[in-house]
């Protein structure tokens, strides 16, 4: 297996080197013909989502679009208003939390291919995604766009996504580099974090995106690190990204994230977007030519204060991006809203849905049984692809959970009422609901008492202070009176299950009286179909949580250390938990979570046995091979995720009890068994040594944990490293 991987990487590397050698002379030829003003014009926006080309040389514009989960609707030239097109509806794919919950890299590749095809059809050159910022607090309004709390999981899932997008000749723009782990004060907060935590927790997914995924562009974060903005940060961009990692693509600002011409020029920024935000529509002060990398940059070049070699490096990177995208004669035309894309969206949703609780086998519900089902909750029919900030989508269609249930349960009488209501979608503000709370509750209780089964479909939405860009959540519990409503419904009918649609963990004081609980995420165009597939038992749930659900907010490491850890004092914040993020904190400090990282139930049962390593002692450079037998001991076909964690005993530095190092999802028919082999390179066991500014592999004893969740370990195997 290792030889196959290495051979594939060698072939890919050889191909890339050959392509690079062919492009390089062309880039130099173009560069020699560009005027200084033309070079500078290529380094900044000319509209909300495009940069200038050079028509006299046949160099095209670069067109970008938001879209980690689908290509955003067309935006006006100079404002954030929709352009009003009628042909820009797309397939909405599940949010990246759902993709991560699938624990299935092959699905990430299919997701990326389908999304890249849609971006290409819409004539986009750069797709602004995926996001791989680490889930640090359940209050972060943008967690739904990311891939969870574990750097290995995020690294593994992001690579095939990028490769899938870019095989269409569309650049993935991995974001937000780096430490953008909250929305509150994101535009200026200075993050203080240990160098070790930076390298071990927050950088790995970006490194994998660059070195394994071959990402063609990176979007900088808004925040500061070491009192320097991430958009032009000498350490993060020049030393680490472009130096140590050898990144040869473009660094693009998040919109309006540049702050200084000299720093932007010298500290790694290549393309500046969004400064002034309103282009020509407000005043000449906000004209694109007045961006930091526009006329002010040109003036400093002309005066000799900045060498022309600086802009030449930026233009080389921009031209390289173009040869990979809009100046690549071999890229396809793309496709949009086709059946295959819809099938990918549905499959990702199916495999990412997590069954959290299933008392008395509440789920699945029999779709052939005659019964009355009360479907209560705004999220049962509210569109959840719209809103959320830059992830706002305009899908061709969106199947609601209510529609999915009605289609799949034709023999049931399905009653629906809101029960609670939030306001309409709004960015940066909250619009109150126009409904009367008491009236909604009374109606919900009436149908709950009539029903054989109550299905509450609630959670969060993509409004401000929910799961939304530009603001964090204000509380860990559910908003809009959902908790009180749930208690009332439980009094009215004890046969109740809950479907949570959210991108974040929530408090669950109502959990004890709930028989079944499904974490449904934001599932895109095929949301209702995928949920009905799982609720009916047509699909056996196999998703696993990509982040920990703490029992209470203070159990989360970021919140344990008080306000200066989260959210900071509006100027600085300290990541006092260091490397102990998520399950690392819960395991090491022995704090029982509400639901653990990696947790997820099934309608069948599995047994892990014959767990062993290929030997007991290893030398640097070797791989640990872990094997185990997985048996489906239940009555249904289903999938299980074998998870391998490793911990160091008696370490010379602080360590988490264990860290995820490998995983594999295996599908089995009932009564069948398979042998699963996973490999962990010894280099993955090293820690970042701040004294030597490098990675250090300790000799001595390690423990290999094999199980199906971070708190469900089947066996521990002790090994030694020479």
pLDDT band at residue 6 using 50, 70 and 90 as cut-offs: very low
* Number of CB atoms found within 10 A of residue 366's CB: 12
DSSP alpha helices (H): ranges in 355-428?
401-408
| Mean pLDDT computed over 335-363 | 98
| Mean pLDDT computed over 666-679 | 98
- What is the Cα–Cα distance from 324 to 511, expressed in whole angstroms? 51
DSSP 577-593: TTT--THHHHHHHT---
Q: What are phi and psi of 459, to 5 degrees?
A: 115, -135
Question: Which residue carries 């950088």 as its tokens?
Answer: 203
Assess contact for 275 and 284: CB atoms under 8 A: no
Question: Which residue carries 């097109």 as its tokens?
Answer: 85
Q: What are phi and psi of 173, to 5 degrees?
A: -120, 95
Over residues 561-610, the pLDDT tens digits come to 999 999 999 999 999 999 999 999 999 999 999 999 999 999 999 999 99
Asked if residue 1 has pLDDT above 50, the reply is: no
* Number of CB atoms found within 10 A of residue 17's CB: 10
Residue 676 belongs to what H/E stretch?
A: strand 673-681
Asked if residue 671 has pLDDT above 70, the reply is: yes
- Burial profile 665-691: b = 16 or more Cβ within 10 angstroms, e = fewer: bbebeeeebeebebbbebebbebbbee
- What is the Cα–Cα distance from 257 to 231, expressed in whole angstroms? 6
Asked if residue 427 has pLDDT above 90, the reply is: no
567 or 282, greater pLDDT: 567
The confidence score (pLDDT) of residue 426 equals: 82
CA 348 and chain centroid, separation: 14
Strand partners, 501: 459
Over residues 100-120, the pLDDT tens digits come to 999 999 999 999 999 999 999
Strand partners, 641: 665
Assess contact for 548 and 583: CB atoms under 8 A: yes
Query: Comparing 6-20, 462-476, 641-655, which segment has the lowest mean pLDDT?
Result: 6-20
Over residues 114-166, the pLDDT tens digits come to 999 999 999 999 999 999 999 999 999 999 999 999 999 999 999 999 999 99
E strand residue ranges, 70-170:
126-128
Kindly give, in sequence order, each residue whose CB lies less than 8 Å from that of residue 153, ignoring residues fewer than 6 positions away.
Answer: 100, 103, 147, 546, 660, 663
Assess contact for 625 and 673: CB atoms under 8 A: no
Assess contact for 535 and 363: CB atoms under 8 A: yes
User: Catalytic site residue 254?
Assistant: yes
Catalytic residue, candidates 125, 254, 392, 472: 254
Over residues 19-69, the pLDDT tens digits come to 667 899 999 999 999 999 999 999 999 999 999 999 999 999 999 999 899
Assess contact for 111 and 348: CB atoms under 8 A: yes
- What is the Cα–Cα distance from 11 to 20, expressed in whole angstroms? 14
Assess contact for 84 and 107: CB atoms under 8 A: no
């Amino acid at each position: 297996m290792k030889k196959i991987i290495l051979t594939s990487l060698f072939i890919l590397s050889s191909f890339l080197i050959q392509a690079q050698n062919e492009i390089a002379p062309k880039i130099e030829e173009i560069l020699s013909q560009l005027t200084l003003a033309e070079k500078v014009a290529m380094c900044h926006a000319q509209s909300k989502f495009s940069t200038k080309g050079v028509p006299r040389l046949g160099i095209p514009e670069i067109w970008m679009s938001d879209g980690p989960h689908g290509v955003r609707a067309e935006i006006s030239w100079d404002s954030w208003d929709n352009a009003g097109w009628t042909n820009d509806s797309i397939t909405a794919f599940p949010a990246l939390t759902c993709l991560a919950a699938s624990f299935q890299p092959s699905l990430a590749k299919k997701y990326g291919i389908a999304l890249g095809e849609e971006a290409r059809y819409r004539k986009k050159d750069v797709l602004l995604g995926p996001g791989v910022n680490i889930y640090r607090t359940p209050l972060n309004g943008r967690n739904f766009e990311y891939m969870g709390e574990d750097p290995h999981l995020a690294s593994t899932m992001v690579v095939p996504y990028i490769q899938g997008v870019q095989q269409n000749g569309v650049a993935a723009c991995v974001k937000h580099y780096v430490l953008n782990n909250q929305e509150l004060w994101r535009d200026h907060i200075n993050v203080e974090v240990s160098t070790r935590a930076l390298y071990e927790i927050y950088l790995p997914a970006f490194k994998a995106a660059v070195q394994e995924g071959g990402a063609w562009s990176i979007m900088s974060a808004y925040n500061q690190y070491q009192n320097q903005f991430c958009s032009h940060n000498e350490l993060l961009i020049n030393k680490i990204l472009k130096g140590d990692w050898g990144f040869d693509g473009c660094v693009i600002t998040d919109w309006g994230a540049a702050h200084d011409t000299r720093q932007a020029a010298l500290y790694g920024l290549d393309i500046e977007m969004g400064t002034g935000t309103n282009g020509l529509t407000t005043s000449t002060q906000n004209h694109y030519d007045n961006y930091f990398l526009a006329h002010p940059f040109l003036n400093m070049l002309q005066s000799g204060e900045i060498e022309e070699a600086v802009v030449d490096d930026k233009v080389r990177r921009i031209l390289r991006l173009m040869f990979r995208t809009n100046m690549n004669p071999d890229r396809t035309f793309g496709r949009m809203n086709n059946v295959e894309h819809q099938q990918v969206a549905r499959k990702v949703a199916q495999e990412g849905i997590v069954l959290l609780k299933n008392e008395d086998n509440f789920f699945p519900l029999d779709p052939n049984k005659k019964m009355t089902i009360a479907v209560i909750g705004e999220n049962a029919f509210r569109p959840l692809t719209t809103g959320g900030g830059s992830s706002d989508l305009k899908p061709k269609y969106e199947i609601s959970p209510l529609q999915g249930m009605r289609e799949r349960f034709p023999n049931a009488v399905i009653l629906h009422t809101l029960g609670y209501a939030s306001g309409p979608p709004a960015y940066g503000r909250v619009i109150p609901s126009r409904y009367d709370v008491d009236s909604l509750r009374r109606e919900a209780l009436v149908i709950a008492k009539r029903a054989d089964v109550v299905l509450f479909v609630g959670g969060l939405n993509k409004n401000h202070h929910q799961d939304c860009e530009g603001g964090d959540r204000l509380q860990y519990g559910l908003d809009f009176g959902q908790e009180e409503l749930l208690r009332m419904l439980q009094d009215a009918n004890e046969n109740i299950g809950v479907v949570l649609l959210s991108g974040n963990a929530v408090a669950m004081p109502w959990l004890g009286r709930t028989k079944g609980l499904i974490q449904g995420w934001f599932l895109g165009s095929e949301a209702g179909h995928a949920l009905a597939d799982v609720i009916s038992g047509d699909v056996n749930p196999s998703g696993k949580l990509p982040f920990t659900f703490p029992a209470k907010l203070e159990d989360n490491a970021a919140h344990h250390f008080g306000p200066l850890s989260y959210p900071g004092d509006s100027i600085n914040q300290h990541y006092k938990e260091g490397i102990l993020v998520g399950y690392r904190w819960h395991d090491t400090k022995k704090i029982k979570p509400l639901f653990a990282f990696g947790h997820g139930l099934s309608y069948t049962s599995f047994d892990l046995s014959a767990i062993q390593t290929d030997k007991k002692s290893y030398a640097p450079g070797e791989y640990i091979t872990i094997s185990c037998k997985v048996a489906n001991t239940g009555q249904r076909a289903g999938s299980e995720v074998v998870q391998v964690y490793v911990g160091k005993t008696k370490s010379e530095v602080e360590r988490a009890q264990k860290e995820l190092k490998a995983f594999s999802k295996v599908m089995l028919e009932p009564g069948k068994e398979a042998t699963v082999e996973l490999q962990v390179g010894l280099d993955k066991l090293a820690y970042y040594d701040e004294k030597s500014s490098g990675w250090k592999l300790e000799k001595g004893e390690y423990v290999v944990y094999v199980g199906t969740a971070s708190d469900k370990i089947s066996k521990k195997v002790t090994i030694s490293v020479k």
